[in-house]
Amino acid sequence: MAAETQTADHDLVDGAILGVLPEGEKVLSVERCGTSTWALTARMIVRSPDGSERSYFLKILSSSDAPLRVRGEYLAMREIYQTLPTFAPRPVGYGLCSDEEASFFICDYVPLENKLPDPVRLGQQLAELHKKSQSPTGMFGFYCTTFDGRLPLNTTWESSWTVFFQKLMLGVYQLDVETNGHWKELDEAMQVTIDELIPRLLDVLTSEDRSIKPCLIHGDLWEGNIGTNANTGEISIFDACSYYAHHEKEVGIWRCEHHEMTNPEYRKEYFKNMRRSEPVEEYEDRNRLYAVETRLINSAHFPGEPTRQLALNDLRFLISMYLPESLPVD
């Protein structure tokens, strides 16, 4: 017997959604809550057979790629929850709606405070996730395509972090071009980046007997995807587009001005718990390189944003430092 609807918004409670809830649960109410650029979101309150009540967070997407997007989110959040359950809400299910052309994702509801996360606690929890995680293949990548916002990431398994990041960056750049068109200066800088800059900065991570562990990362860890539990004070992350990556990739997003977590304290606290990779003296440049991917995915989502110019500025800065002979001529 699937869950039953008692009193709820029938526009939101689809039969397939009820089907993934634990047997005997009755939906008491559904209230729209939260904000999302790409989906409808709601809180669903249910009563269990023992009389207790609990809440779920419900997300419904209606785009043509919605089935892939909810699957990616479910698998990403499941991977985080199974690795460190104190750091993420429990994912409950996902699937196709039966009554309309839409897809859904459900997880436990967490009451969140609207404030920036505590840097100390976030640094501790994030480092613990990265340390505890183990790639099931020993490689970089993920089981399926995950989506940063509404856009897909190339998460195909690769044994080389350099190769993986080349493909990830190229895929994001192509998405940006689809949105904003070609730009000669960026095209040239990106060619040098893919062919020369990425190998220069990332190959050294595994040279001279060095190695890097593929760590499970959230993939889009900005303040909008991090919350503080109003009841416990614990930090919770959500809306993940995870893959196994070099751990430093996770915090590249925190240098991007279109987000609010640019305070160096966030990176400082994280690296109190997780060492920077060798060569340490090149960490800031790797961080800048990783931030370019974030800037370009933002540009691909929002045409006309300054993040495209900032991405070019970062690439030119890095090329001038490491490959001055390859710097494109104006």
Q: Is the pLDDT of residue 9 over 80?
A: no
Domain extent listing, the chain: 4-109, 113-326
Mean pLDDT of the chain: 93
Class of domain 4-109: alpha beta
**pLDDT tens digits, one per residue of 295-306:** 999 999 999 999
With cut-offs at 50, 70 and 90, classify the pLDDT of residue 12.
low
Query: In sequence order, which ranges of 21-155 are alpha helices (DSSP H)?
Result: 66-83, 119-132
Q: How far apart are CA 247 and CA 275, in angstroms?
A: 9
Spatial CA neighbour of 215 closest among 148, 270, 293, 291: 270
For 222-250, b/e burial (b = at least 16 CB within 10 A) is beebbbbeeeeeebbbbbbbbbbbbbbbb
With cut-offs at 50, 70 and 90, classify the pLDDT of residue 33.
confident
Q: Is the pLDDT of residue 326 over 90?
A: no
**pLDDT tens digits, one per residue of 305-316:** 999 999 999 999
Length of the chain in terms of residues written: 330
pTM recorded for the entire structure: 0.94
Task: Give the per-residue pLDDT at 51.
Answer: 94
Task: Give the per-residue pLDDT at 235.
Answer: 97
**Domain 113-326 maps to which CATH number in 2.40.50.100, 3.90.228.20, 3.20.20.70, 3.90.1200.10?**
3.90.1200.10
Q: How far apart are CA 123 and CA 132, in angstroms?
A: 14
With cut-offs at 50, 70 and 90, classify the pLDDT of residue 328.
low
Across 198-206, average pLDDT = 98
